[in-house]
Amino acid sequence: MNILVTGGAGYIGSHTCIELLDAGFNPIVFDNLSNSSTIALDRVEEITGKKITFIRGDVRDSEALDQVFSQHDIYAVIHFAGLKAVGESVEKPIMYYDNNVSGSITLFASMERNNITRIIFSSSATVYGDPASVPITENFPTSTTNPYGGSKLIIEDVLKNIYVAHQDWNIALLRYFNPVGAHESGLIGEDPSDIPNNLMPYISGVAVGKLDKLSIFGDDYPTADGTGVRDYIHVVDLAKGHVKALQAFENKAVDNLYTVNLGTGKGYSVLEMVEAFKKASGKDIAYQITSRRAGDIACCYADPSYAKELIDWEATKGIQAMCDDTWRWQSNNPLGYK
Ligand code: NAD
Ligand code: WQD
C-alpha cells in the first residue's frame, strides 16, 4: 500500500519511512527539502534495503499534489511537512501560517478532489499551552502562545470540520511530546540547519565540540531541581506510532476521527537530561544557568494511556537509549548530512 509522506525527508519523517517499510507499506516522500536532505532517504534505503520514491515538491502546490495523487494509488497520507521553530514563528508569522496552514489546506483540497480519505497529522503537545496540571490527557483545554502552535490548532480544527462534512474520512491527530534520539544504526538523526533551538541537539552539539556550552533556561521553576521538565520520546517509538495509527484506520472499534498523545508519561528535567547525556557520551557537558526563555512552561508530560487503549501503542525506549542513539548519530556525523 502506498503512503504519501509529506515532509518525509525530515527528522521524524525519515524515521517513519523505515517503520513503514518494515511494516510492508510503500512510502512515497513528497518534500520541498526546505529543512532536509535526500541523503536521509539514501540512508533509509541503506538501512532497510528497500527503495523509496522521492518527489521534490511543496504542499502549497496543488498541481504537483494532484499529479502525485493521479499517478500513484495512495492509500493514506502522513502529513509531516511544516516549519517547526517556535521562536522563528513569532518573528515570521505570515511565513508560518502560509507554509503550515495554507500548505495543509492545499493538501486537504487535493485529497478531496482525488478521493483520498485517510490522513495522519503531526500535531504537538504545544496545543495544550501551559497545562493546569500533569499528566496531560487529550481532553485538556487547548491554547497557544505563538504562531507555530496557532498553526497546529488551526489545522486540527480544519480537519475536525472536514470530518463533520465527510464522516467517511479517517483522520488521526497525533500530538507529539518532545521527540529526541535517532535510529540505532547511527545513520539518520536530527540535523538542525542552524544553531539548535531544542535541548537535545544542543546538548549533543556541546558534547561533540561544535557548541561551547549549553544555556539552561532557568533553575527557578517549581520542579524538583528547578529546571524545566518535559516528556522526551524516542523518535523510533514515535515513528512506530504512525504505523499503529494507520493500522487503526482498519479497526472498526476506533472512531474515524481521533486524537492521541504520543509521549512516554515520564518527565525529565534539563539537568537530568544533561546527566544522562554525559553518561551516554562519556563527555563533559559545559553549561551555565541563564534566565528563563520567553514562553517556556515549567512542566509538561503526557498521559499516554489513551494511545495504548485506542491504537495499541506505547513507548518502549527509555532515556538512556534516547541519549545513546543521539550520541551514536552525532559522533558518527558531526556535521549532520553535510
Ligand atoms: P523537520 O523540519 O525535520 O521535517 C519537516 C519536513 O517538512 C522537512 O523535510 C521540510 O523540508 C519539509 N517541509 C516543510 N515545509 C514544506 C512544504 N511547504 N512542502 C513540502 N515539504 C515541506 O521536522 P520534524 O521534527 O521531522 O517534524 C515533522 C512534523 O512534526 C512537523 O509538522 C512538526 O511541526 C511536527 N512536530 C515536531 C516536533 C519536534 O519537536 N520535532 C514536535 C511536535 C510536532
Ligand atoms: C526543552 C527544555 C527548555 C534549550 C519545543 C516546542 C514544542 C515541540 C517540541 C514542536 C525546556 C530547556 C532548551 C536550551 C534549555 N515542537 N532548554 N536550553 O520548548 O519543550 O518544546 O519543541 O511541536 O512545540 O515548543 O522543547 O527542547 O526547546 O526545551 O534549557 O538550549 O529544555 O527551557 O525546559 P520545548 P525544547
Count Cβ atoms within 10 A of the Cβ of residue 236 and give its class: 0-12 exposed, 13-18 middle, 19 or more buried: buried
Q: Is the pLDDT of residue 54 over 90?
A: yes
Eight-class DSSP state of 143: B
Q: Is the pLDDT of residue 278 over 90?
A: yes
Grid cell 482525488 in the structure block, residue: 114
Q: Percent of the chain at pLDDT above 70?
A: 100
Cα 65 to middle of ligand 2, angstroms: 33
Task: Look up 202 and say whether it is catalytic.
Answer: no
- Of 315, 283, 298, which Cα lies nearest the Cα of 209? 283
Q: Which of 35, 99, 174 most suits a substitution to test ligand 1, by most atoms within 8 Å of the C-beta? A: 35
Cell of 204: 549533543
Cα 277 to middle of ligand 1, angstroms: 25
- What 3-state DSSP class applies to 320? helix
CA 83 – CA 97 distance, rounded (Å): 9
The type of residue at 77 is V
pTM value > 0.85: yes
CA 275 – CA 273 distance, rounded (Å): 5
Average of per-residue pLDDT values in the chain: 97
Q: Percent of the chain at pLDDT above 90?
A: 98
Q: Point out which residues pair with 288 in neighbouring strands.
A: 215
Give the residue extent of every domain in the chain: 2-184+234-263+302-316
pLDDT in the model for residue 67: 98
Q: How far is CA 171 from CA 137, 167, 318, in A?
A: 19, 10, 29
Is the CB–ligand 1 distance for residue 124 below 6 Å?
A: yes
Neighbours of 202 (CB within 10 A): 20
pLDDT in the model for residue 253: 85
- Of 40, 59, 56, which Cα lies nearest the Cα of 48? 40
CB distance 5 to 20 below 8 Å: yes
The 10s digit of each residue's pLDDT in 82-136 is: 999 999 999 999 999 999 999 999 999 999 999 999 999 999 999 999 999 999 9
pLDDT in the model for residue 190: 98
pLDDT in the model for residue 26: 98
The average pLDDT across 137-154 equals 97
User: What's the count of helices (H) and strands (E) in the chain, helices before strands?
Assistant: 12, 14
Among the bound ligands, name the one nearest to the CA of residue 130: 2
Catalytic residue among 11, 148, 221, 258: 148
pLDDT in the model for residue 256: 95
The number of C-alpha atoms within 13 Å of 38 and in the hemisphere containing its C-beta is 12
Neighbours of 61 (CB within 10 A): 16
Radius of gyration of the chain (CA): 19
| Protein residue with its CA nearest to atom 15 in ligand 1 | 82
Is the CB–ligand 1 distance for residue 41 below 6 Å?
A: no
Eight-class DSSP state of 136: B
Is the CB–ligand 1 distance for residue 201 below 6 Å?
A: no
Listed in sequence order, the DSSP H helices in the chain are 11-22, 38-48, 62-71, 86-91, 93-96, 103-113, 147-165, 199-207, 235-248, 270-281, 305-311, 319-332
Q: Is the pLDDT of residue 288 over 90?
A: yes
Q: Is the pLDDT of residue 337 over 90?
A: yes
* Alpha-carbon 106 to chain mean position: 21
CA 274 – CA 191 distance, rounded (Å): 19
CA 121 – CA 103 distance, rounded (Å): 13
pLDDT in the model for residue 252: 83
The 10s digit of each residue's pLDDT in 241-273 is: 999 999 999 888 899 999 999 999 999 999 999
Name the CATH architecture for the domain at 2-184+234-263+302-316.
3-Layer(aba) Sandwich (3.40)
- Backbone phi, then psi, for 246, in 5-degree steps? -65, -45
Q: Is the pLDDT of residue 137 over 90?
A: yes
Cα 228 to middle of ligand 2, angstroms: 9
